[in-house]
Amino acid sequence: MGKLIFGLFLGIFLLCNSTVGITGSLKDKIPGAYEAISLPEWELTIELKKNGNAIIKDFSEKYSGTWHNKDKKVYITYNGITEELIYSESLSLSELGKSGGIPGLKGQASS
């Protein structure tokens, strides 16, 4: 499948962390399960584990990879592709026409 959903569509996805309320360093806050919420017809989940492993699921495909961060930039590598995302503790919900924010990831670039 070449590049996963990220490279094509992540700029319009909001990926929200279901492990809200964690305090501490970014290394403690970033791991968790993320789901695409801005386009409900797309099924995309990302699980970032504390040990640096990543599981990416889209529709019927499942990919294994690794992740690391440099400050708020999160890099996920799978199948020779590295995706760059930005972590936010309060990702704006304005793209969904709502106010407020929640912890999440937003796409930046693919390499």
Domain ranges of the chain: 5-110
pTM, to two decimals: 0.74
Q: For residues 96 and 76, what is the distance between their CA atoms, to the nearest angstrom? A: 25
**Does position 93 have pLDDT exceeding 80, yes or no?**
no
Decide: helix, strand or coil at residue 29: helix
Q: In this predicted structure, which of 12-16, 74-78, 94-98 has the lowest mean pLDDT?
A: 12-16
Question: pLDDT of 71-85, one tens digit each?
Answer: 899 999 998 989 898
* Terminal Cα-to-Cα distance of the chain (whole angstroms): 15
Q: For residues 93 and 35, what is the distance between their CA atoms, to the nearest angstrom? A: 14
Q: For residues 91 and 75, what is the distance between their CA atoms, to the nearest angstrom? A: 18
